[in-house]
Amino acid sequence: MRKTQLASCLVIVSLLGSSQFTGAADPAHSDQPTVAPAEAISKLKEGNGRYTNGNLQHPGQTAERRTELAKTQHPFAAIVSCSDSRVPPEIVFDQGLGDLFVVRVAGNVINDEGLGSVEYTVDHLGTRLILVLGHQSCGAVKAARETIAAKGKAPGHIESLVTAIKPAVEATAKDDLETTVKANVKNVVQALRSSTPILKAKVDSGEIQVIGGYYSLDTGAVTFLDEK
Contact 133, 89 (CB under 8 A): yes
- The structural domains of the chain, ordered by start, are 35-226 (3.40.1050.10)
Q: pLDDT for 152-187, tens place per residue?
A: 999 999 999 999 999 999 999 999 999 999 999 999
Q: What does pTM read for this prediction?
A: 0.87
Query: For position 132, what pLDDT does the model report?
Result: 99
Query: For position 226, what pLDDT does the model report?
Result: 78
Query: For position 33, what pLDDT does the model report?
Result: 73
Query: For position 32, what pLDDT does the model report?
Result: 66
Opening angle at CA 60, ends 54 and 62, nearest 5: 110
80-94: burial string, b at 16+ Cβ within 10 Å, e else:
bbbebeebebbebbb
pLDDT along the chain (228 residues), means of 10: 46 42 49 87 98 96 94 97 98 98 98 98 98 99 98 97 98 98 98 98 98 99 87
Query: For position 44, what pLDDT does the model report?
Result: 99
Query: For position 16, what pLDDT does the model report?
Result: 39
HSE-CB for 120 with a 13 A CA cutoff? 13
Query: For position 20, what pLDDT does the model report?
Result: 53
**Cα distance between residue 62 and residue 57, in whole Å:** 12
